[in-house]
Amino acid sequence: MIIAQLSDTHLLSIKGKDEIAKLRADNLMAAVAAINDLVPLVDAVIHTGDMTHTHAPDEYVLAREILSALSAPLYVVPGNRDRRTNLRRTFIDDGYLQGYENEPILYAVNQHAVRLIGYDSLSRASNKGDIDASRLDWLDSALADCPDRPTAIL
């Protein structure tokens, strides 16, 4: 299985004339095109956080617009600059982001040769992340569901 990873795209709204915002959007578009051109093709793309810079809803809309050009399925987990609510609202239609808006984003995807587990360590109190007992219990349970299956934790 071939997985492409995107991270730290820090997208900004491109409504104004901010050159950094346009450059970041252009760079993500170029990365998407490069991923789509890989031979062999990738089986999945993961974005492991800091998709946006200020976590504004329009930044997630821009991300969705650009990332929708991917030819492989996309899976996302939040980074310290992301907001679960906006991330979940933007990507909820993809089917793997279940749960309430601001609760941790935790999921398992079993449709690939390697099982993908999205594991949110976002902290409400610190940009260093947080792993609490309930998230560890969830992970233990998710891993126990398929103990003999190759698994990647995102």
Query: Side-chain half-sphere of 79: how many Cα atoms within 13 Å?
Result: 17
Query: pLDDT digit string (tens) for 128-152?
Result: 888 889 999 999 999 999 999 999 9
Q: In the β-sheet with 3-6, what is the strand arrangement from edge to edge?
A: 3-6, 44-47, 74-76
Q: Residue 148 is encoded by which pair of tokens?
A: 């003999």
Cα separation, 52 vs 100, in Å, equals 21
Cα separation, 48 vs 45, in Å, equals 10
Query: pLDDT digit string (tens) for 62-109?
Result: 999 999 999 999 999 999 889 999 999 999 888 888 777 789 999 999
